[in-house]
Amino acid sequence: MKSNLDDRAGNGDEETPHRRGLYLIYHDDFLLHDPSPYPHPENPERLRVALRALLDSCGSSIEAITPPRRDPFEAYSLVHDSDYMQVVLEASKSPSPAWIDPDTYVSPGTPKALARLAGAVDVAVDAAVDGGLAIILGRPPGHHAGKRGPAMGAPTLGFCIFNTAALIARRLSEYGRVAALDFDLHHGNGTQEILWWDSILHVDIHQDPATIYPGTGFPEDTGGIRGSKANIVVPPGSGDDIYIDAVGVALDILRNYNPDYLVVSAGFDAYIGDFASMRATEHTFARIGHGVRDLSVPVIVVLEGGYTSGLTRGLPAFACSLFGEKYRVSREPTVSSEKAWKSYKAFLSRLNEALHSG
Ligand SMILES: [Zn+2]
């Protein structure tokens, strides 16, 4: 694996498949958002773990890691109010991590990490417009961050600072029809809030909001432009069978919309044993990767949640499948209870009703 994308750009080989290639966008500045000395599940180590897992499992598809330049983080003003951005900047001036709510810290290195994320968005958007596939392996995560901070009445920002997925969606909408898919365990309330009045399609698979943070994302939320938001709700404890069905529903909605570009908020905390009670395994994440690949549109993936097994097992299954590599799953798919199926089907009926009734 070469270390610099520029080596490749200058080789006069622009019409090879690499031109529409695969960009893994990463920079050590993403580690500067750091809770230490306090323990916190959203910490730099999770990104090291994710990078290692990705390179070990399907690194042969990745010709180079693309280091983004650093942009002013004001690039995020496309999706956030300046007052809120100022709160983050002020909090970062404290010599040790400052808590901007009971879940979420800002550290002295946070603005640098965000500036590097803004640069990563530039690289990724260029890659997508060129027909490519870009994965931003970065942090802090963003899908809970609303225009002015916590979104849709959520009590906290849920470890998120700025909403990178929403920024990418807005940026790409200058070039064509954009859809966003969020498969993190939790609802992408920040993304929904920011994009509520946008025509950008936002499809979100998440745990029943009545049972988990942020408490939003019910099937009846279909967007300021009706049908532009689709919330696919799965009950706690769901296994691969329910998850794979939900992924099929999401893919149907995405195919019907026929986007030119897709942004993926990739969270791996629904993996069994990762964060909560969900029981998705490699089967689910490989299905998502294949499904996204089959849409055959330029894709930008950003990392959201995922803390332990989701990063070491779910992320490789997703990424390898997305890259078109074979990914062998040795375990059997997990099976949901009858009660969970009943609850899931009730949520699906509500979604159909909300999207299709008069
Ligand atoms: Zn999550």
How close is the Cα of 213 to the center of ligand 1, in Å?
A: 9
List, as one string, the DSSP characters of 97-131: -EESSSS-EE-TTHHHHHHHHHHHHHHHHHHHHTT
Look at the chain and report how many structural domains it folds into: 1
- Active site members: 144
Instruction: State the distance from the centre of ligand 1 to the C-alpha of 116, rounded, in angstroms.
Output: 22
Domain interval for residue 145:
17-356
- Burial class from Cβ neighbours inside 10 Å (0-12, 13-18, 19+) for residue 325 reads middle
| CA 257–ligand 1 middle distance (angstroms) | 25
Which residues, 6 or more positions from 175, have their beta carbon under 8 angstroms from its beta carbon?
A: 129, 260, 261
Q: Is residue 1 part of a domain?
A: no
Q: Would residue 248 count as lying in a domain? A: yes
Work out whether strand 178-182 and strand 201-207 pair parallel, antiparallel, or are unpaired: parallel
Q: Which of these, 254, 259, 199, lies nearest to 225 by C-alpha position? A: 199
CATH of the domain at 164: 3.40.800.20
Reply yes or no on whether the pLDDT at 13 is more than 80: no
Spatial separation of the C-alpha atoms in residues 186 and 163, rounded to whole Å: 15
Residue that wins the pLDDT comparison between 121 and 326: 121
Identify the residue with better confidence: 93 or 61: 93
Predicted local distance difference test score (pLDDT) of residue 328: 86
The verdict on residue 171 lying in a domain is yes
Question: Does residue 22 lie within any of the structural domains?
Answer: yes
The pLDDT of residue 20 is above 70 = no
Q: Are 205 and 217 in contact (CB under 8 A)?
A: no
How far apart are alpha carbons 41 and 60 in whole angstroms? 29
How many Å lie between the centroid of ligand 1 and the Cα of residue 193? 17
Task: Give the pLDDT band (50/70/90) at residue 17.
Answer: very low
Alpha-helical (H) ranges within 92-218 are: 110-129, 164-172, 189-195
